[in-house]
């Protein structure tokens, strides 16, 4: 499973909460495939930086994606996922 590609697919969904729920499901699936939280977080941080930088160029959609990733990283950090 290419985790980054799967997260990008989930982020491309326009409907909430489907996008966020799919991202949570991907985290759980990755864990079941013995992918460490460290690797999951690294993937999400990479995507966050990508979308954050795009969002700084007045791209509202990328800014929203960066916000979703930040929320998911917080949830992982505080064991809510």
Per-residue pLDDT reduced to its tens digit, 44-79 = 999 999 999 998 888 888 999 999 999 999 999 998
Three-class secondary structure of residue 14 per DSSP: coil
pLDDT of residue 15: 82
The residue segments making up the domain with residue 47 are 3-77
Pairwise CA distance, residues 77 & 40, whole Å: 11
**pLDDT tens digits for range 11-39:** 998 887 888 999 999 999 999 999 999 99
pLDDT value of position 60: 87
Confidence bin at 5 (pLDDT 50/70/90): very high
**How many structural domains does the chain have?**
1
Query: Terminal CA-to-CA distance of the chain, rounded, Å?
Result: 20
Alpha-carbon gap, residue 34 to 48, rounded angstroms? 23
Contact 33, 1 (CB under 8 A): yes
């Amino acid at each position: 499973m290419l985790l980054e590609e799967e997260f990008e697919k989930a982020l491309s969904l326009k409907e909430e909460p489907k996008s966020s729920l799919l991202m949570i499901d991907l985290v759980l699936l990755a864990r079941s495939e013995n992918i460490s939280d460290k690797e999951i977080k690294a993937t999400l941080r990479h995507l966050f930086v990508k979308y954050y930088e795009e969002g700084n160029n007045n791209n509202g959609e990328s800014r929203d994606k960066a916000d979703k990733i930040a929320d998911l990283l917080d949830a992982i950090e505080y064991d809510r996922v």
